[in-house]
Amino acid sequence: MANLYAKNFSDADEVKNPPKAKVEVVKLGNVNASKLVLQPGWVWSECIKPTVGGESCQAGHVGVVISGRLGCSHNDGSKIEVGPGDAYYFAPGHDGWVIGDEPCIMYEIVEGGKDFGPWKHAN
């Protein structure tokens, strides 16, 4: 097992294309790093929920916004807006949406990988 890893998103291990989004995943041992590009008009409850089901996203998200803005509301009624340079954590039980006319670009890193849904891989 390697102790040092480096991979570039231009040569991602997985590329997924859910509606209005592109997710590039690189696998670094037992950790996955993902680059998410969410287009204007992307809303979890409209673009992802029809495929994965449930009333809200049941994944936890830890990441950093590079550009664009994202809104998130939790089932408990709390809301947050994140933008460039913001690190974030969204607990399971939320909805999210792109704010404005600019794509939202984010990076997330999770141990053990994360399933972004059953969309076909581009590579």
> pLDDT band at residue 2, thresholds of 50, 70 and 90?
confident
Do the Cβ atoms of 108 and 62 come closer than 8 Å? yes
Q: Which two tokens stand for residue 22?
A: 């592109």
- pLDDT tens for 24-58 read 999 999 899 999 999 999 999 999 999 989 999 99
> Sheet containing 69-74: which strands, arranged edge to edge?
79-82, 69-74, 94-99
Digit-coded pLDDT (tens) for 80-108 = 999 999 999 999 999 999 999 999 999 99
Q: Name the pTM for this structure.
A: 0.88
pLDDT at 115: 52
Q: Please determine, for residue 117, whether its predicted confidence score (pLDDT) is greater than 60.
A: no
pLDDT digits (tens, 9 = 90+) for 52-73: 899 999 999 999 999 999 999 9
Q: Quote the pLDDT of residue 122.
A: 42
